[in-house]
Chains A and B, each alone.
With several copies, the nearest count.
Chain A
Amino acid sequence: MKFAVTVFPGSNCDHDCEYVIRDVMGQPVEMIWHKETDLKSPDCVVVPGGFSYGDYLRTGAIARFSPVMKSVADFAAKGGLVIGICNGFQILCEAGLLPGVLIRNKSLQFICENVYIKVEQAGTPFTSACQPGQVLKIPIAHGEGNYFIDPEGLKKLKGNGQVVARYCDEKGNVTSEANPNGSLDNIAGVCNPKRNVFGLMPHPDRSGEDALGSHDGQFIWKSIISSMAAAK
């Protein structure tokens, strides 16, 4: 299964994505510079974390105008799998590929730590290897991960089953104490209505090995790999 990782000026989790996909999951991966438009026919596009354009103005606001994003949008429109992690999630929201927006953490502080998320939808290509309700231990590292959408939008999200993951405690309870950043409804990850575009604030790219404190991120990668295999 072939992955493409987009690289914007200021991306900094591009290497982590490359490493986990190639060295941990054993899949081929191409790095695509943002000025390019050819994605090199991947099965899945990863928009990685970092600080594209320094996060200046608004997170993801400038990156979405990069030439490569037009190709990513076309790829998604044709049903291709696209996952945005952290800053990648922010970029996909700005680009209109995902609903909602990520605003500043409630504490106004950048937060780097392991959190727990509950898989609310195991039926997406990004979570198919998870049990419904499974709890994953996975780190966050962001200053703007506070998911917001208007009430109308939230209703739609819920109705369509687009809320894929929510922050929870170790046992899977979705509580306000377990919400690290003030996200509406503890939302940690959402997908589009067609379920082929997924955004997630926590980092499956940093949780692929026990040596790093958790291998739970592998569930996300395994899901993608197996659903791509199934589609072929």
Chain B
Amino acid sequence: MSWHVSVYVTLKPSVLDPQGATVQRALNQMGYQAVQGVRMGKFTELEFDGQLAESDVKKQANEICDKLLANPNIESYRFTVEKK
């Protein structure tokens, strides 16, 4: 058993998302006119030692997001924790 943390990193709403805009244009050109917006983000899965207490996992995950996975200048993040 180990802790499975899913981290979702997204660009803050006001920040330009060149990738998302390009993908949206491509989808519209491919005929998917109903697609009105695309935002690209990152999805990271972290595996933690199952021995840790849930609160520790959360604490560490928070730190890891702040320090490494998300750029606080332009991105926000959220995560979920599950035991698997």
**Do A and B touch each other in the complex, judged by CB within 8 A?**
yes
CB atoms of A57 and B74 under 8 A apart: no
Q: How many residues of A contact B (CB 8 A)?
A: 22
Rounded to whole Å, the gap between the CB of A187 and the closest CB of chain B is: 13
Rounded to whole Å, the gap between the CB of A153 and the closest CB of chain B is: 8
Q: How many residues of B contact A (CB 8 A)?
A: 17
> Contacts A56-B23, A57-B23, A65-B30; is A146 near B71 (CB within 8 Å)?
no
For B14, list chain A residues within 8 Å (CB).
150
For A100, list chain B residues within 8 Å (CB).
73
Please pick, from A101, A103, A108, the residue contacting B22 in the complex, using a CB distance under 8 A.
A108
- Number of cross-chain contacts by CB at 8 Å: 55
Rounded to whole Å, the gap between the CB of A185 and the closest CB of chain B is: 13
CB atoms of B22 and A56 under 8 A apart: yes
CB atoms of B19 and A56 under 8 A apart: yes
Tell me if B57 counts as interface (CB < 8 A to partner A): no
Rounded to whole Å, the gap between the CB of B65 and the closest CB of chain A is: 12
In whole angstroms, what is the CA distance A175 to B23 when docked? 26
Contact string, B34-64, partner A, CB cutoff 8 A, digits 1/0?
0000001000000000000000000000000
**Chain A CB within 10 Å — which of B22, B71, B74 has the most?**
B22
CB atoms of A103 and B23 under 8 A apart: no
CB atoms of A148 and B74 under 8 A apart: yes
CB atoms of A56 and B18 under 8 A apart: yes
Please pick, from B19, B23, B71, the residue contacting A94 in the complex, using a CB distance under 8 A.
B71
A107-B18, A182-B18 known; 19 new pairs, CB 8 Å cut-off, are A53-B22, A54-B18, A54-B22, A56-B22, A56-B40, A57-B19, A57-B40, A57-B69, A62-B26, A65-B67, A101-B74, A103-B18, A103-B74, A104-B18, A104-B19, A108-B18, A108-B22, A146-B16, A146-B18
> Which residues on B are within 8 Å of A, measured CB to CB?
14-16, 18-19, 22-23, 26, 29-30, 40, 67-69, 71, 73-74
Q: List 20 A-B contacts (CB under 8 A).
A: A54-B18, A56-B23, A56-B40, A57-B68, A61-B71, A62-B26, A65-B26, A65-B30, A65-B67, A65-B68, A94-B71, A101-B73, A103-B15, A103-B16, A104-B18, A104-B19, A146-B18, A148-B15, A148-B16, A150-B73
